[in-house]
Copies of this chain bind each other. A is one copy, B any other.
Amino acid sequence: MNIQTKEEFLQVYKASTSDQLKEQELDQDVLEIISGVRKDGDEALYRYTNKFDHVVLDSLIVSEEELLEAKKQVDAGFLDALKQAKENIEAFHKEQKEQSWFVNKAPGILLGQKVTPIEKVGVYVPGGKAAYPSTVLMDVIPAKIAGVEKIVLTTPPQANGKINPHVLVAAQLVGVDTIYKVGGAQAIAALAYGTETIEKVAKIVGPGNAFVARAKKWVYGDVAIDMIAGPSEICIVADQTAPPSFVAADLLSQAEHDELASSICITTSEALAEQILAEVEKQTNVLERSEIITQSLKQNGKIIVTANLKEAFSVVNEIAPEHLQLMIEKPYDSLSNIKNAGAIFLGNYSPEPLGDYFAGPNHTLPTNGTAKFASPLGVYDFMKKSSIISYSEEALLQATDSIIKIATVEGLTAHANSIQIRKDDPNA
């Protein structure tokens, strides 16, 4: 981690973009898996699970027995915390629910949009050594509130053929319909195209490794996906009122995700920058994941000193960070300066982990600069709109000439005819 000026930082900084040609090798593998699942269905899922997860499964579906067993394995304190988180996440996301609407702006004319839930959704939850019950809550609760009829979850089995009990408990708590023991590109293919056991869904959400991410890109269009997530990022804007120990702890919490994670602090105070650096060194050593943290900070840890807050915000908007913490004296006064960020945390007592697990807003956020065009996952991602167009005979007859004129210019004369035929003989 080092201290830079805004100019030094921006000269080098660029949100990474995909190198389409470089990914072709991974794509060959992913495409083979997708086409295997489309061809062989369940049989391919058993085969790939054996190959990649080194597990021979009896069933692709988590049994009732396994669900009961999981409940016994998790401690009551964790379950209480999870229930509180669920309540907060539900309360926040209920505010996002959209309504159908219409307007009558002229006699005989009704226009509007009907809002309906997506019918079937698949949630991918990564496996591996860690378990992510919080991802289950964040991905399933908005779909439930939207009114999605069927929500299934798929996650790779552990070496013993089981699923982590914390994930199973979270899935039961939020009411997932079925849980599958399938991971990787094969899980994405199964959700996108269906197999004997796994029903095709209309939308796939959830994070995953490179195979999952590429598979999501390939099935995109045939089904909807939430986003293609990149490494996680934090950007903290701090002035002299920010406790350096808090800032350092928050940078480190981001860095522990993985070596590619970015932890960036932007401050107007050179003195604070030095204090934060000292705190980072002090705190890193006592943390469990200090190796990952050290690697991550070395590659992507930066403290940027700017002349004033205005300059700091221009850097923020260029980065468009996934997480933005405003640890400054008057954070609300600066909100108008923020154009691009996934989530904005205000003040010294709103650290990122509060949002990751508990406060209520979604932790599935646009990464790698995509906050320039994308939003946090929300209820709106599980609903869709149908436009409503209703004209009376009188209303249409007033509009015929304009419609025919434009259709004719575009060379679509059968379009013109559809209007003309009504004009010529409205009561056919």
Contact status B403-A118, CB under 8 Å: no
- The reply to whether A403 and B203 contact each other, CB–CB distance below 8 Å, is no
A388 to B372, CA, bound (A): 16
Among B118, B402, B422, the residue within 8 A (CB) of A358 is B402
CA of A361 to CA of B353, assembled, Å: 42
Q: Are B85 and A17 in contact (CB under 8 A)?
A: no
Within 301-356 of A, Cβ neighbours of B (below 8 Å) are at 324, 331-332, 335, 338-356
Q: Are A95 and B101 in contact (CB under 8 A)?
A: yes
Partner of A84, one of B220, B228, B288, B402: B402
B residues in contact with A361, CB < 8 Å: 111, 113, 387-389
Of listed A35, A349, A375, residue having the most chain B CB within 10 A: A349
Residue in B111, B202, B401 whose CB lies within 8 Å of A359? B111
Q: Is the CB of A386 within 8 A of B344?
A: yes
Is A260 an interface residue, CB under 8 A from the partner?
A: no
**Are the CB atoms of A289 and B396 closer together than 8 Å?**
no
User: Per-position contact with B for A239-260: 1 when CB-CB < 8 Å, else 0?
Assistant: 0000101100110110111000
Chain B nearest CB from A347 CB (Å) reads 6
Judge whether A78 and B406 touch: CB under 8 Å.
yes
The segment from A55-63, A126-134, A174-182 that touches chain B is A126-134
Q: Is B417's CB under 8 angstroms from A252's CB?
A: yes
CB distance from A263 to the nearest CB of B (A): 10
Would A415 and B372 count as touching, CB distance under 8 A?
Answer: no
Given A252-B417, A390-B345, A415-B256: A335 in contact with B384 (beta carbons within 8 A): no
Docked CA distance A418–B370 (Å): 26
- Is A405 a contact partner of B353 (Cβ separation < 8 A)? no
Contacts of A107 in B (CB 8 A): none
Q: Of the candidates B255, B370, B414, B425, which one forms a contact with A256 in the assembled complex, judged by CB atoms under 8 Å apart?
A: B414
Q: Decide: A221 near B18, CB < 8 A? Known: A386-B341, A387-B361, A387-B362.
A: yes
Which residues of B are found within 8 Å of A416, using beta-carbon distances?
353
In whole angstroms, what is the CA distance A373 to B406 when docked?
31
Is the CB–CB distance between A372 and B118 below 8 Å? yes
Q: Are A349 and B133 in contact (CB under 8 A)?
A: no
Complexed CA–CA distance, A109 and B88 (Å): 11
Q: Is A68 an interface residue (CB 8 A)?
A: no
| A410 adjacent to B134 (CB under 8 Å) | yes
B395 contacts A349, C-beta separation under 8 Å: yes
**Which of the residues B21, B348, B355, B385 comes within 8 Å of A31, measured between beta carbons?**
B21
Partner of A217, one of B96, B221, B362: B221
A354 and B403 contacting across the interface, CB-CB below 8 Å: yes
Find chain B residues with CB under 8 A from A401 CB.
81
- The B-contacting residues of A in range 197-247, CB under 8 angstroms, are 202-203, 217-218, 220-224, 227-228, 243, 245-246
CB distance from A14 to the nearest CB of B (A): 11
A103 at interface (Cβ–Cβ under 8 A)?
yes
Determine if A414 and B119 form an interchain contact, defined as CB atoms under 8 angstroms apart: no
From A217, A360, A412, residue with most partner B Cβ within 10 Å = A412
**Selected contact of A131 from candidates B21, B116, B134, B410, CB within 8 Å:** B410
Question: Cβ of A354 and Cβ of B387 under 8 Å apart?
Answer: no
Taken together as a complex, chains A and B put the C-alpha atoms of A105 and B116 apart, in Å, by 27
Q: For A84, what are the chain B residues with a Cβ–Cβ distance below 8 Å?
A: 402
Q: List 8 A-B contacts (CB under 8 A).
A: A111-B360, A119-B340, A130-B411, A133-B410, A257-B412, A342-B386, A357-B415, A359-B389
Apart from A118-B372, A350-B391: 7 A-B pairs, beta carbons within 8 A:
A111-B361, A243-B428, A287-B414, A287-B417, A324-B386, A349-B391, A357-B415
